Structure 1
Amino acid sequence: MSAAEPSADLPGTGDDRVCSAKGCRATARHAVVWNNPKLHTAARRKVWLACDEHRTSLADFVALRGFLIEVVPVEQLTDADG
């Protein structure tokens, strides 16, 4: 499974939160928060949701590019994230 292609959908809340890894339909427990400074303002917080299995691969993918801000539990997401 490739972390390079997260799904475009950012699901709702609770059990509707699905991992962003391509092909994964597991419940997301983590939020990989990132920002590409060439495309986004400094305040923009993009989010990929991750299940336990894909947390590291999704975070590593954006970290390798210097885009990773933080990884937090999905419960800590705010309206500013997304």
Structure 2
Amino acid sequence: MNSPETAAESGATPPICSAKGCRADAVWVLAWNNPKLHTPERRKTWLACEEHREHLSSFLDVRGFLKEVVTLAEWESGADGRAGRDPGERP
């Protein structure tokens, strides 16, 4: 059985930070929801590098949108019960 390929091995572009102008690799997934627009279970996602995690989290949190922050590896593996979704994928 072959081992799974990483993004670098497969030639895929690794996910990058959602902060404006940032091209750093993403490390964090910030799951959020605007209750005026989305159903309660809906999760939108932003990706963040180490440098922008706090800034992006604060931006969402002050508006009451931030639902959870997990590592990209946890999000992709489904370690918290999500069954391995890609960032940005609808529940």
After TM superposition, the score normalised by the length of structure 2 is 0.70
Runs of 4+ in structure 1 over 6 Å off? none
SS in 1 for 2:18: coil
| Count of matched residue pairs | 70
Q: Percent identity?
A: 54
Are residues 1:25 and 2:31 paired?
no
RMSD over aligned Cα atoms: 1.8
Which of these residues, 46, 49, 59, is aligned with residue 47 of structure 2? 49
Residue 39 (structure 1) shift: 0.5
Residue 81 (structure 1) shift: 5.2
Rg bigger for which structure?
2
Q: Which runs of 5+ in 1 are unaligned?
A: 1-12
Q: Which runs of 5+ in 2 are unaligned?
A: 1-5, 8-12, 76-83
2: distance between equivalents of 1:80 and 1:44?
14
Which residue number corresponds to residue 33 of structure 2?
A: 35
After TM superposition, the score normalised by the length of structure 1 is 0.77
Which residue number corresponds to residue 63 of structure 1?
A: 61
